[in-house]
Amino acid sequence: LADSCVKEGQYNYAIKACQLTNNNELLNKIGERCMKEGLLNAALDAYSLAGNDMMVQFIRENFRAV
């Protein structure tokens, strides 16, 4: 489910699907893709749920508007 949501650009749904399955690897990939597309809030959500504190800190320090 999460993979198909990512392919369709529905990142918020993909993040929720990954959260339910505890798929941290895919959450990190979604976070990376969201960063590339400028979707900083979605990236922050994905990285937070994946437990990727380094990327959460990076986004918060470098993108103050988030």
Where are the domains positioned within the chain? 2-62
Number of Cβ within a 10 Å radius of residue 5: 18
End-to-end CA distance of the chain: 27
pLDDT (mean) for 31-45: 94
pLDDT value for 1 = 65
Instruction: Please report which confidence band the pLDDT of residue 28 belongs to, taking 50, 70 and 90 as the band edges.
Output: very high
Number of Cβ within a 10 Å radius of residue 20: 10
Rounded to whole angstroms, the maximal C-alpha distance in the chain is 32
Q: Give this prediction's pTM.
A: 0.84
pLDDT (mean) for 10-37: 89
